[in-house]
Structure 1
Amino acid sequence: MKKLYAILGITMLMSVAANAQETTWSGNIRDIVERKCNSCHGAESAPEYQLFKREKDTWLAKGQGMRMDSYSHLVSFVGWPNTGALMRRLDDGKSSKEGKAGNMHQYLGATEEERQKNLTIFKAWVGNWSLKRWPDSTKEELNGIKVKY
């Protein structure tokens, strides 16, 4: 009986430890977005995606991107309908054939060390870090996306 309790106790501790280290929007990603992204992608400065798309040149001339300041906004650039867009923009080039970093990678931090740290957190949150667009993504690749709240 003591062995059973010991096994149950160890299993529970391992479960708690695994959940404590889980990367989530509310526990990890929101803070990075607030610090590094909201000046160009926040509610006060950025339009909804469809408005940005319709008036892209105007918004880009202002140095603004589309709104990505909430979980629901950001997830659409990971999964669907804009599959892989977040990954293509934040990637450091190690996942691309050309080896070129995404256009938003530079904003992940003031130093390469900080950028790599934040990129690692984003990769853990996304799960399946793929630069592929919707039509090129397989069901298995899409199922590998985590993006937990």
Structure 2
Amino acid sequence: MMKLKLLTVLAGAVVALPAMAADVTYRNDMAPLLKKYCAECHAATADAPSMAEFKLDEEKYKKAKVGPRSDTYEHLLQLVNGNSTGAFMRRLDDGTNPYAKEGKPGNMYKYLGETEAERAANFKIVNAWVVGEGNKWDMNGIGQRGDMPPITLEQLRRMKLKY
């Protein structure tokens, strides 16, 4: 009887394995999403700066409605895991994060799709790429922002960012 119960549990686990979501990767998930929703302002054009170039003259690029490049894995990592850690997720946040101002979505959330359902689904992909499915990014940055504490080493280690 004990063997039969064990076999039943193991069989259930094997059947459940294919149902688990695959890891979200830059190549399979983020690159197509960024190309479709973000390339207009963050593409590899002659005018699109790297994150370092953007920081040197933010006002100029903001006036031109040109954001830092996110067309390659390396450029995207500069946005997500560089000196501006947290800004990427704050701007894309759906407004449910406790640090979201007045529960409002970030200023770039609206570009993640035409409908709320599409935006929510795409934000879920982005969030899973950054910190893994089922986890929520805390929105912290390198330095403290108001009542939001700076990012911790533990939070940095949670980041996935798979190619």
> Aligning the two structures, in what range does the TM-score lie when normalised by the shorter sequence?
0.7 to 0.9
SS at match of 2:139: coil
Question: Which residue in the other structure is 2:121 paired with?
Answer: 117
SS at match of 2:107: coil
Whether 1:131 and 2:159 are equivalent positions in the alignment is: no
Pair 79,50 (structure 1): closer, same or farther in 2 beyond 3 Å: closer
Alignment identity in percent? Answer: 37
Using structure 1 for the length normalisation, give the TM-score.
0.83
Which residue type is aligned with residue 35 of structure 1? K
SS at match of 1:134: coil
Matched residue pairs, number?
A: 142
Which residue type is aligned with residue 38 of structure 1? A
Question: Which residue in the other structure is 1:28 paired with?
Answer: 29
Moved over 6 A (4+): none
How far apart, in 1, do the equivalents of 2:58 and 2:100 lie? 27
Deviation at 1:50, TM superposition (A): 2.3
Pair 97,107 (structure 1): closer, same or farther in 2 beyond 3 Å: closer
Deviation at 1:33, TM superposition (A): 0.2
SS at match of 2:118: helix
- Unaligned runs of 5+ residues in structure 2 are 1-5, 144-149
SS at match of 2:81: coil
Question: Which residue in the other structure is 2:58 paired with?
Answer: 56
How far apart, in 2, do the equivalents of 1:93 and 1:62 lie? 27
How far apart, in 2, do the equivalents of 1:97 and 1:36 lie? 22
Deviation at 1:35, TM superposition (A): 0.3
Question: Which residue in the other structure is 2:146 paired with?
Answer: none
